[in-house]
């Protein structure tokens, strides 16, 4: 049994969602799993049966000594896009695994990350340019299909799921400070959609935003919640329809679960680009993009801080325009009313797309981690 320390970048629910999908299979193999993290990552980690959890803000240099103390006891560090934990593990001479679900997105990758013992690159968005740029410099690169949690076949219920993902990334943008997206979008959805067709409407996001939504929207059919990752997957798979921001984890789950999906306008820069790509691949026949009503942003290749600012600036314009909000609401309502026309196309195209990428990459990821432990005589 190996002692594995797992860390995920505190950026909404994407990195931690991927990490938990991998941890779910590692747990079955009796490894000791220890988590170190903060913020939105910690929120989901608390609902997973880790052997131990350490609340450490890995993005804060003042936390380095605490992080070193935890990682020093590990046989391996598994990092889902958390750079600082990799730097610490490399300093301590520990085995390192990097899980990257945004390989296509980066304008730079630190040399220490490229030098990890196992670099897991998730295939999804076209990333040939970054493969040419970074691939030759990566010591041990493994490409896998989308890393997706286990989805059970369930009977669909008369319910709808709305998801804003983790809604914020504190070191990049915060709901209520840099963006009011969850609150504006909830108002749009409440005003423009007839929800009486559903017995239950769940709005899922992080703990803080879910609480604020509950406080702001008193007379509403919505049930606001921060759901454990496995519960979220279950609710998504048994919903008749889901309305989601175009984040990676939830999009992949919608593809795999064959749940008809409406993509809401993006709430950050990676979602903006992902929705562009989903449309290009025919994966978003039901989608509403900021670019449908506002100037299209050219974010590809732009430094991440700059692209974040560009999207936040456009979201600010969206929040201040009642006209655009009305147009967005009308478009979403039309997609709700016509879902029988586009659902089959969505299910067919997304299934073929996942198959073309090799299917679920989680088992291959875990197999490679175990092989690395075996080669290094760690059992």
Reply yes or no on whether the pLDDT at 379 is more than 70.
no
Report, as an integer, the average pLDDT of 156-182. Answer: 90
Q: Model pTM?
A: 0.93
List, in order, residues 6 or more apart from 301 with CB less than 8 Å away: 107
- H helices of 196-338, in order, are 207-216, 229-237, 248-257, 269-280, 304-320, 322-337
**For the domain 3-149+360-375, what is the CATH code?**
3.40.50.11720
pLDDT, tens digit, 9 for 90 and up, residues 258-269: 999 999 999 999
Q: Report the pLDDT value the prediction gives residue 298, as an integer from 0 to 100.
A: 94
State yes or no: pLDDT of 333 exceeds 90: yes
In tens, the pLDDT along 75-95 reads 999 999 999 999 999 999 999
- Number of neighbouring beta carbons within 10 Å of residue 314: 19
Q: Which of these, 254, 229, 232, lies nearest to 20 by C-alpha position?
A: 229
Q: Is the pLDDT of residue 152 over 90?
A: no
Instruction: Quickly list DSSP for 138-153.
Output: -SSEEEES--------
CATH number of 159-356: 3.40.50.2000
Question: What DSSP designation does 287 have?
Answer: B
- Three-state DSSP at 138 gives coil
Which pLDDT band holds residue 183 (cuts at 50, 70, 90)?
A: very high
Residue 170's pLDDT band, with cuts at 50, 70 and 90, is confident
Q: Using one digit for the tens of pLDDT, what is the confidence trace for 204-226?
A: 999 999 999 999 999 899 999 99
Render pLDDT for 88-125 as a digit per residue (tens, 0 to 9): 999 999 999 999 999 989 989 999 999 999 999 999 98
pLDDT digit string, tens, across residues 287-324: 999 999 999 999 988 898 899 999 999 999 999 999 99
Q: Which of 131-140, 167-176, 340-349, 363-372 has the lowest mean pLDDT?
A: 167-176
Q: Domain coordinates of the chain in residue numbers?
A: 3-149+360-375, 159-356
Residue 262 has a pLDDT of 98
Asked if domains 3-149+360-375 and 159-356 share a fold, the reply is yes
Q: Which residue has the tokens 């009308």?
A: 330
For residue 13, name the pLDDT band (cuts at 50, 70, 90).
confident
Given a cut of 90, whether residue 12 has pLDDT beyond it is no
Would you state the pLDDT for residue 210? 96
pLDDT band, very low/low/confident/very high, at 137 (cuts 50, 70, 90)? very high
The pLDDT value recorded for residue 350 is 95
Helix (H, G, I), strand (E, B) or coil at 48: coil
35 pLDDT higher than 80: yes
């Amino acid at each position: 049994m190996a002692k594995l320390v797992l860390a995920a970048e505190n950026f909404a629910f994407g990195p931690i969602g991927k990490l938990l999908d991998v941890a779910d299979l590692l747990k079955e193999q009796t490894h000791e799993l220890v988590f170190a993290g903060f913020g939105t990552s910690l929120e989901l980690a608390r609902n997973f049966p880790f052997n131990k959890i350490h609340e450490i803000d890995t993005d804060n240099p003042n936390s380095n000594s605490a992080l070193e103390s935890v990682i020093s006891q590990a046989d391996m560090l598994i990092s889902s896009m958390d750079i600082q934990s990799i730097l610490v593990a490399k300093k301590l001479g520990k085995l390192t695994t990097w899980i990257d679900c945004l390989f296509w997105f980066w304008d730079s990758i630190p040399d220490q990350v490229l030098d990890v013992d196992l670099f897991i690159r998730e295939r999804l968005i076209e990333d040939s340019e970054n493969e040419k740029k970074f691939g030759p410099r990566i010591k041990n690169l493994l490409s896998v299909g989308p890393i997706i949690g286990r989805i059970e076949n369930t009977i669909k219920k008369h319910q709808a799921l709305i998801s804003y993902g983790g809604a914020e990334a504190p070191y990049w943008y915060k709901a209520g400070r840099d963006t009011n997206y969850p609150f504006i979008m909830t108002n749009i959805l409440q005003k423009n959609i007839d929800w009486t067709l559903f017995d239950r409407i769940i709005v899922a996001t992080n703990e803080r935003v879910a609480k604020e939504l509950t406080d702001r929207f008193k007379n509403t059919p919505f049930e606001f919640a921060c759901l454990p990752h496995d519960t979220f997957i279950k609710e998504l798979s048994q919903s008749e329809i889901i309305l989601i921001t175009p984040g990676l984890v939830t999009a992949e789950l919608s593809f795999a679960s064959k749940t008809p999906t409406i993509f809401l306008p993006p709430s950050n820069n990676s979602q903006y680009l992902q929705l562009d790509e989903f449309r290009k691949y025919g994966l978003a026949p039901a989608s509403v993009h900021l670019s449908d009503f506002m100037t299209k942003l050219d974010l590809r290749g732009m430094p991440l801080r700059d692209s974040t600012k560009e999207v936040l600036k456009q979201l600010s314009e969206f929040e201040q325009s009642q006209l655009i909000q009305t147009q967005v609401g009308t478009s979403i309502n039309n997609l709700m009313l016509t879902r029988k026309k586009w659902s089959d196309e969505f299910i067919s195209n997304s299934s073929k797309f996942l198959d073309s990428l090799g299917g679920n990459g989680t088992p291959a990821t875990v197999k490679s981690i175990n092989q690395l432990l075996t080669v290094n005589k760690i059992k």
